[in-house]
């Protein structure tokens, strides 16, 4: 399979003034909050609309590989599951959410890049994914070069959107939304011809009951996306603790179990567990 390397994305897009995410009541600015009774809480940023990775279900529960990784890490940091407060961190909000101290950690399909490392620190990586395309089952788009006169949807502040513009489809008509589920609706109703992001995310959508048979992944490995756990810039103590937790999660088999539980239903063939500190360029 063709493996095309995409260099680190250049200038990511940041909204100038992002509205505060749901994090009322905590002015400690370190992503933790002391609440009476339930013990100290840890605020962790995840995605809410990515089945298999980070999903908030209508009953208010949370599931996905990122959720499981974050839950394991939190436990190693001394927080039980009931001490975790999940916060939605959309792609474009992640750096700001960490800088402001809205959350202590982010586990949200968050690729480690040199550009982001200027603003935040990362533990990991804990998963290697690759950018791909999701198209309708009857689409004739098979290669990235097929996109150049087509309508393509991605998400503001993502490496996926940057890579399209900088590298593999500069002439595509790219429209960026706030989240990938919005792109999925646009793909379904014919507003766009393809949705591009990590294969891990796309596989999760394609496997949803309501979409079965409607979409297909192109199977292109357009980039290497090394998922890291984001922490506030300079918080090396937390980076070290999270790295230790991730190593333990792999060595005790919990990582593999989380992979099977979350990616099995989507038939997503993941890469093996990355080594901490080793970024695949």
Instruction: Compute φ and ψ for 137, nearest 5 degrees.
Output: -55, -35
Which string of b and e fits 70-109 if b means at least 16 CB within 10 Å?
bbbbbbebebeeebbbbbbbbbbbbbbbbebbbbbbbbbb
195 binds ligand GLU (CB under 6 A): no
Nearer to ligand GLU, 196 or 243 (CB): 196
Q: How far is the CB of 102 from ligand GLU (least distance, A)?
A: 17
- Nearest to residue 129, comparing CAs of 106, 100, 158, 150? 158
Q: Among residues 71, 89, 91, 181, which is the contact residue for ligand GLU, using CB under 6 A?
A: 91
> How many helices (H) and strands (E) would you count in the chain?
8, 14
178 contacts 140 by C-beta, under 8 angstroms: no
| Contact pick of 111, 196, 243, 262 for ligand GLU (by CB under 6 A) | 111
CB of 33 to ligand GLU, least distance (A): 25
Measured distance CA(252)–CA(235) in Å, rounded? 26
Site for ligand GLU in 165-194 (CB under 6 A): none
Tokens coding 148: 């150049």
49 binds ligand GLU (CB under 6 A): no
Binding flag, residue 121, ligand GLU (CB under 6 A): no
Q: Does 238 bind ligand GLU (CB under 6 A)?
A: no
124, 276 Cβ separation under 8 angstroms:
yes
Complex with ligand GLU: residue 41 or 134, whichever CB lies closer: 134
- Of the residues 197, 224, 243, 262, which one makes contact with ligand GLU according to CB under 6 A: 197
| Residues 108 and 95 sit within 8 Å (Cβ to Cβ) | no
**Residue 93 found at the interface with ligand GLU (CB under 6 A):** no
The least CB distance from residue 82 to ligand GLU, in Å, is 26
Angle between the 254-263 and 65-76 helix axes, to the nearest 10 degrees?
160
**Binding status of residue 225 toward ligand GLU by CB under 6 A:** yes
**Closer residue to ligand GLU (CB): 41 or 44:** 44
- Contact positions toward ligand GLU, by CB under 6 A? 91, 108-111, 155, 158-160, 197-198, 225
């Amino acid at each position: 399979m063709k493996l095309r390397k995409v260099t680190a994305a250049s200038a990511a897009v940041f909204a100038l003034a992002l509205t505060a995410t749901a994090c009322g009541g905590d002015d400690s600015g370190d992503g933790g909050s002391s609440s009476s009774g339930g013990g100290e809480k840890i605020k962790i940023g995840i995605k809410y609309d990515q089945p298999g990775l980070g999903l908030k279900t209508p009953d208010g529960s949370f599931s996905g590989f990122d959720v499981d990784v974050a839950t394991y890490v939190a436990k190693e940091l001394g927080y039980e599951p009931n001490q975790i407060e999940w916060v939605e961190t959309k792609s474009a909000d992640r750096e700001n959410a960490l800088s402001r101290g809205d959350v202590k950690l982010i586990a949200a399909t968050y690729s480690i890049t040199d550009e982001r490392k200027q603003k935040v620190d990362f533990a990991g990586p804990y998963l290697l994914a690759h950018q791909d395309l999701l198209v309708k089952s009857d689409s004739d788009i098979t290669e990235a070069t097929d996109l150049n006169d087509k309508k393509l949807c991605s998400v503001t502040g993502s490496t996926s959107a940057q890579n399209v513009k900088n590298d593999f489809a500069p002439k595509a008509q790219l429209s960026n939304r706030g989240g990938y589920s919005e792109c999925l609706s646009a793909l379904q109703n014919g507003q766009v011809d393809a949705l591009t992001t990590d294969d891990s995310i796309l596989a999760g959508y394609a496997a949803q009951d309501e979409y079965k048979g409607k979409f297909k992944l192109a199977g292109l490995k357009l980039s290497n996306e090394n998922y890291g756990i984001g922490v506030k810039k300079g918080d090396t103590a937390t980076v070290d603790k999270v790295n230790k937790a991730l190593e333990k999660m792999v060595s005790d088999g919990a990582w593999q179990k989380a992979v099977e539980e979350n990616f099995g239903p989507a038939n997503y063939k993941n890469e093996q567990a990355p080594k901490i500190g080793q970024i695949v360029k």
